[in-house]
Chain A
Amino acid sequence: MTSALRLTGIHKSFDKPVITGLDLNVAAGQLYALLGPNGAGKTTTLRMAVGLTEPDQGGIEIYGIDAIRNPLEAKAITAWLPDEPMLYDKLTPSEYLGFVAGLWRIPPRDAAPEAERLLRWLELWDVRDTRCEGFSRGMKQKVALAGAMIHDPRLLILDEPLTGLDAAMARSVKDALRAAVDQGKTVIVTTHILEVAERLADRIGIIANGHLLAEGTLAELRAQAGAEDDTLEDTFIRLTSAPRIPA
């Protein structure tokens, strides 16, 4: 099976080691949820995958492209949506999409109709000429999501993509991510909402203390945790040994 993202032997330290010998393989055409307690190294891992942080050691491949040696090729097929939207407050949604499309060098004849489709789908069409500075967090997140999708990436990497979205929009985004996977794209998400991972993800990776603790489908994770009737939350807590609050 083609690998969409392959991390091999990744090490990264800041003041102290954050990622220690991480190996991760995400197959193409899957929705992969990366879970872990706070400070586990999820965001650092994803930032390394998209070229924002350089690993101290190890290899990164995106659809077979060596992302360390050929970063531009890898970036051309990747989208990154962090938890804090990468927006310009003084630009309108349509201006922002125009800029992002320019960065990815999408011809206007392709970008303009796609922008219109995204703006309508994300219910931003009526405010497409209003500057983002007055938007709520959810609206900003939607503009950033449109920016991430405007260049039709093969690999979408999203850090907490549902933050700030209302229930209806969160459902729309989840549906869109699922639809993207159905079209053959690969989606990697981090989330604290375990229900999202449980319902959406094809495979789940649990990361703690800078390395992959467990990986597989929900059933495989339950088996690894030794409790086959557990919810993902119970499994997650068992695997990461997070402290429970006594009843």
Chain B
Amino acid sequence: MIGWIMRLLPPGSFVWLVLHELRLARRPAGKRSRWLMAIGAVLVLGWIAFGVWIGGLLADVGIVPGPMGMAGAALGSILLFTFMTTQSILGSQRTLYEAGDLDLLFSAPIVPRTVMRAKLVGIAASVVLTFAIIVLPIALPLAWFGHPQLFGIPALIFALALTAACFGLAITLILARIAGPRAARTVGQIVAALSGGSVFVASQYFSNGAPRGQRGAVMEALFEKMVAGGFGTHGVGALPGMAAFGDPFAVTALLAGSLLLFILTTRGLQSLFLSGYRAGGMKLSRPKRSTRSVAKQFHDRLFGAVFAKEWRLMARDPALAFQVVLRLIYLAPLFFIVMRQGDDYVLIAPSLAFSSVLIAGQIVASLVWLAVSAEDTPDLIKVAPVRKDQIDTAKLSAALVMAAPLAILVPVGMAWTTSIAAALFTLGVTGIAGWASGMIEVTFAKPAPRSTFRRRRGGGSFIRGVAQFAVTMFFGAIAAVGVWVLTTTFRLPFNL
């Protein structure tokens, strides 16, 4: 369809390029299995059917822009905007450093600003596609079945996505300007993870700070307080709510505002975009003159050499930085639970022990998978006079050492709030579970170039998944039961 429309348009025109970007946005990198595509299609159809059912159910229910609805729309817009900005930062990084088509586009007889505009629309389009699949199957049937004012929601999503794309590109380009293209990739991934996870951390902070059983009420009270304070009902803050409920002025204002920002971004950031592209395309690493000796790079033992190499490759992997920060963010609920001291530790401690095993297993498995499966030069390892099991052991050890700082967080917290005995027991089982998870990855992961690992991640074997699940449940249960026994039966007097 898009290809057919493109044939009708003047090649190289802005709309033609935008359609090209849309075509690319619809085709995610890597091969997808037919099964996964079929499951995805069924889920989307199910979601649409659910939306139609809800639409029919609420056809006669009045949906009016009251203060709660307006505040809800404003809050939802903020949530969407943070996730969209995260996606836009990642999308901008892909455009600048990974897509590899800018050489072609800039060498063509097309005005650079047109290329940049098309790219920006492409980033926004990929964001819109993601969120449209989530929101529109519910919003559009609701609008169709008696609430036409909700047709404002697609316009709101488009305006938010375009604004987020401008912000995402600006953050990426400014980071590239300040820190250079290589650091920009790593810092950008961290900023993206933080922006995506900030709402989650904030919600956990408020809900976990409340006493047990009252967390929902606390969140409700907080929301009511925001509504009473005029959140989402006054001034510019009311625009998202008004647009969602179909106010023509608000829809026009948001669309015009986002389009104006789009024009200003493409005008204001054009030179930054070009310099960012050149810096990314020409050299990712700055030439570094050094007066240091090379002696410190050499190691007495095989483990030292492999560990140093794995450590450097992981530390220099921007995508991994994103994953680590995300994992830290998702540890937030545990952190809040661990730090909430009280009499219910006898109940909480076993679940913390289980969580500790789960976290360690996940982290070690990810790192080992990366070390083994994302091996840039498997042939170099194969032609070296070392056995595969020696290399695997060194990689597993490296992953365990690297995972240790994250894996000990929960046991350390437990030592503080429950008992040292329970913490030590958890630490021991966590270590064994991490080792077992790593061994599963060592057994199943296949070495292949790092550049292809993102694509291969989706193709994880079923047996590996089952084995990881079994290991987590087995050691998690041991840790939970052991900690429960330690904190109830023996009541060891080791509490801090």
Q: Do A and B come from one complex?
A: yes
Determine if B316 is an interface residue (Cβ-Cβ < 8 Å): yes
State whether A50 touches B383 (Cβ < 8 A): yes
State whether B383 touches A98 (Cβ < 8 A): no
Q: By CB atoms of chain A within 10 A, which of B298, B302, B305, B317 has the most?
A: B298
State whether A108 touches B299 (Cβ < 8 A): yes
Determine if B283 is an interface residue (Cβ-Cβ < 8 Å): yes
**What are 28 inter-chain pairs, A to B, with CB distance below 8 A?**
A50-B383, A52-B379, A75-B383, A86-B380, A89-B376, A91-B309, A94-B294, A95-B312, A97-B297, A98-B297, A99-B306, A100-B380, A101-B299, A102-B298, A102-B305, A102-B309, A103-B305, A108-B295, A108-B299, A108-B300, A112-B298, A115-B294, A116-B294, A128-B294, A133-B285, A134-B282, A134-B283, A134-B285
Determine if B382 is an interface residue (Cβ-Cβ < 8 Å): yes
Determine if A51 is an interface residue (Cβ-Cβ < 8 Å): yes
State whether A126 touches B289 (Cβ < 8 A): yes
Q: A80-B383, A91-B312, A104-B385 are in contact. Are A129 and B376 (CB under 8 A)?
A: no
Which chain B residues border A129 with CB–CB below 8 Å?
288-290, 292
**17 extra A-B contacts, CB within 8 A, seeds A50-B383, A103-B305, A115-B298:** A72-B386, A87-B376, A87-B377, A95-B308, A98-B299, A98-B308, A99-B309, A101-B299, A102-B306, A102-B309, A108-B298, A108-B299, A112-B298, A115-B294, A128-B294, A130-B285, A130-B286
Determine if B387 is an interface residue (Cβ-Cβ < 8 Å): yes
Determine if B313 is an interface residue (Cβ-Cβ < 8 Å): yes
Which chain A residues border B289 with CB–CB below 8 Å?
126, 129
Closest-CB distance, B362 to chain A (whole angstroms): 24
User: A71–B292 Cα gap in the complex (Å)?
Assistant: 37
Instruction: Tell me how many residues of B have a C-beta within 8 Å of chain A.
Output: 39
Which chain A residues border B297 with CB–CB below 8 Å?
94-95, 97-98, 112, 115
State whether B382 touches A112 (Cβ < 8 A): no
Which chain A residues border B287 with CB–CB below 8 Å?
127, 130, 134
Determine if A111 is an interface residue (Cβ-Cβ < 8 Å): yes
Closest-CB distance, B193 to chain A (whole angstroms): 20
Binding site for B on A (CB under 8 A): 50-52, 71-73, 75-76, 78, 80, 82, 86-91, 94-95, 97-108, 111-112, 115-116, 119, 126-131, 133-134, 147
Which chain A residues border B377 with CB–CB below 8 Å?
86-88
Closest-CB distance, B169 to chain A (whole angstroms): 23
Interface of B is mostly: loop
State whether B298 touches A90 (Cβ < 8 A): no
Closest-CB distance, A90 to chain B (whole angstroms): 4
User: A80–B378 Cα gap in the complex (Å)?
Assistant: 13
Closest-CB distance, B60 to chain A (whole angstroms): 61
Which chain B residues border A80 with CB–CB below 8 Å?
379, 383
State whether B288 touches A112 (Cβ < 8 A): no
Closest-CB distance, A179 to chain B (whole angstroms): 22
Q: Which of B305, B316, B379, B385 contacts A82 (CB 8 A)?
A: B379
Which chain A residues border B309 with CB–CB below 8 Å?
88, 91, 95, 99, 102
Determine if B488 is an interface residue (Cβ-Cβ < 8 Å): no
State whether A103 touches B285 (Cβ < 8 A): no
Which chain B residues border A73 with CB–CB below 8 Å?
385
Contact mask for chain B residues 10-45; partner A; CB cutoff 8 A; 1 contact, 0 none = 000000000000000000000000000000000000
Determine if B401 is an interface residue (Cβ-Cβ < 8 Å): no
Which chain B residues border A119 with CB–CB below 8 Å?
294
User: A91–B317 Cα gap in the complex (Å)?
Assistant: 11
Contact mask for chain B residues 364-408; partner A; CB cutoff 8 A; 1 contact, 0 none = 000000000000110111111111000000000000000000000
Which chain B residues border A112 with CB–CB below 8 Å?
293-295, 297-298
Q: By CB atoms of chain B within 10 A, which of A87, A95, A116, A147 has the most?
A: A95
Closest-CB distance, A72 to chain B (whole angstroms): 4
Q: Which residue of B lies closest to A107 (CB)?
A: B300
User: A78–B377 Cα gap in the complex (Å)?
Assistant: 17
Which chain B residues border A51 with CB–CB below 8 Å?
382-383
Contact mask for chain B residues 272-290; partner A; CB cutoff 8 A; 1 contact, 0 none = 0000000000111111111
Q: Which residue of B lies closest to A111 (CB)?
A: B298
Determine if B304 is an interface residue (Cβ-Cβ < 8 Å): yes
State whether B294 touches A97 (Cβ < 8 A): yes
